[in-house]
Structure formats: C-alpha cells, structure tokens
Copies of this chain bind each other. A is one copy, B any other.
Amino acid sequence: MAIRIGILGYGNLGKGVEYAVAQNDDMCLKAVFTRRDPSTVKIITEGVPVYSVDDAQAHASEIDVLIICGGSANDLPVQTPEFVKYFNVVDSFDTHARIPEHFANVDKAAKESGKVGFISIGWDPGLFSLIRMYGNAVLPNGNDYTFWGKGVSQGHSDAIRRVKGVKNAKQYTIPVESALEKVRNGENPDLTTREKHTRECFVVPEEGADLAQIENDIKTMPNYFSDYDTTVHFITEEELMRDHSGIPHGGFVIRTGSTGKDNATNHVMEFSLKLDSNPEFTSSVLAAFARAAYKLNAEGVSGCRTIFDVAPAYLCKQTPDELRAHML
C-alpha cells in the first residue's frame, strides 16, 4: 500500500512535490490543499482532488503525510504547528535563526497529537547542514566553508525590482572560483563577504529610466549589494524571459581538517550541488523525508525531527537488508 501524500500550497514547490511523488512508486498523491478557490487550481495529476485548505482537517484520515509548501516568513511558522495536530508533516522552513523556536512549536504540537513533523528539509538547511555536521564529527580539528551558487536569489531579485525605474530583474549569486580553490587547497583562508561571492544582475529598465542611477542604487544597496562586487546588465523583457526564466541554484560545502602527528595530515571533504531547478530539487528532498515521517510514525514515534534526527535508511524505500547488500 502506497504512502498517501497530501500537498499544502500549490506554487513552484508544491508542483515540484507533485512531480517527485510521481517518481516514487511507493507513494501516491491523494489531495492538494490550496488557499485559493480550489476550482481555479488545475494540477497535473489526473483524478486527484484539489480542496480548500479550510477543509484539510476533514481529509486527515485519507493522508499519511502532508507536505507543507508555504513560505518561511509568514506561512510555515503558523501552518506547520497547526497541521501537525492532524497530519504527519514535512516543511522546508529555512529561516536559520528561527529554527529553534519553530522546532519547539512543532515539537509541542506533534507530541500532543502523536504525529511526526519534519522541519527545515531541503538542501540549505538540509543536505548542506548534514554534510557540515558529518564534516565536523569526523574532522573536529578543521574549518567549514559554504558557498552558494551559481543560482538565482529570489530575495535579491525582489530587492532590485523595488529600485526606482526597474521593471523586472533577476539576480545571480556566484561563488568566487579563486576563493573556492584556496579552500580546496587547504589554505584555510579567512574570507570576507566580498571575497566569497559576486552578484550579477539582469535588469529590465522602465522606458526612459536613468540607467546610471539604477546601477548606482543597486550597487550601493546596504545588506543586499554594498558588500559585494556587483555587475549590472540592462536587457529587454524578452531577453529576460528567454535567457533567465529558470530558477537554478546550487553551491559547495567544504570541510578541511587535519589529523595525526602534529596535526600535519590534511584532508578535504567537499559536497556540491548543481541544480537546474531549486524548487524541484527541494521538493525531491521533501518527498524522501515524507517517507521517513511515515515510517517513523508507523513505529510509534511522535514529535519534531530535523535532518539530523533520523537514520538515513528511513529515507529509502528499500529494506535495511537490501541497502546493506546493494548500497553499502
């Protein structure tokens, strides 16, 4: 019997989960819940109903795991503790500083309801956190480095769109190759913000806008751009749609450390992701953790969990015997 998945929120992430579930033959999509008028939401999978989020609780018995695809700023802090009262849930909460608070809220509600709630699942937080953790456990005498990109930063793209005279924009975060090389060579550099990443902006100006002013406003914007070497390209709306409509991302986690006599033996652990679609990959991670939530809850476990708190085998559809025989 397949694991019955519900999706809450049908944006890029929700659509990605729908595709991910279709790739896992031990899962099936049972319902999509939306805050919009359900009659206006057309999903890909045939024969699967779309319900109003207000009716979710009434369908709790039909769903094994609800994957919550809302935003971290406003949606998830409310939705995840609320829906874990009725469902095993998985979310991708990514506001690093507020994870302890979110964990506490979800844990309390999940323990009361007897459900499992996985939070902060994805790649950062998520797989990148995991690699940092293994790196620190294995090489306690060492240094951590995380680089992001090349990829689209939604927050920075939004910030550019708020600049006077800007019609549309896309921003790429790009790791500095020479900094990456220094880290890989075990030089253990202290890197400033400017030395780690550059920012590249593709901007569609409004008709007659002051291009020099736009470029200056972007490059001097505090928090977002002023600490970086930023380049600004002006392009047409057609060029933006044609060349920059994707949402690629990725990055690098590197742990360098030393062992042995006089700590003279050096090691480099590196993990990298190159993703054509940030939301589709994140969705694929969420789907794997839905399987883990289902299995844990079936064993009687309840409470909040993160990627640190589940044995890896729970993510797989294979049995532990099969994993040992074929993947170890």
Contact = CB atoms under 8 A, between A and B. Distances in A.
A285 B135 CA distance: 10
Contacts of A328: 96, 99, 120, 125, 129, 306-308
A67 to B, nearest CB: 14
A197 interface: no
A163 interface: no
A242 interface: no
A16 B265 CA distance: 11
B316 A309 contact: no
Given A280-B265, A281-B259, A325-B99, A272 B274 contact: no
B311 A308 contact: yes
A22 to B, nearest CB: 10
A321 interface: yes
Given A134-B315, A309-B311, A276 B272 contact: no
Contacts of A103: 324
A321 B284 CA distance: 26
Interface stretch (A29-37, A69-77, A136-144): A136-144
A136 B316 contact: yes
A312 interface: yes
A127 B20 CA distance: 25
Contact of A313 (B23, B132, B308): B308
In this complex, the interface size class of chain A, counting residues with CB under 8 Å from chain B, is 35 or more
A268 interface: yes
A277 interface: yes
A43 interface: no
A130 interface: yes
Interface string A293-328: 000000000000011111111011000110111011
Which residue, of A16, A44, A138, A306, has the highest number of chain B Cβ atoms within 10 A? A138
A226 interface: no
Contacts of A270: 270-274
B260 A138 contact: no
A288 interface: yes
A230 B327 CA distance: 29
A167 interface: no
B266 A276 contact: yes
Interface of A: 16, 19-20, 23-24, 44, 96, 99-100, 103, 120, 125, 127, 129-134, 136-141, 184, 257, 259-261, 265-277, 280-281, 283-285, 288, 291, 306-313, 315-316, 320-321, 323-325, 327-328
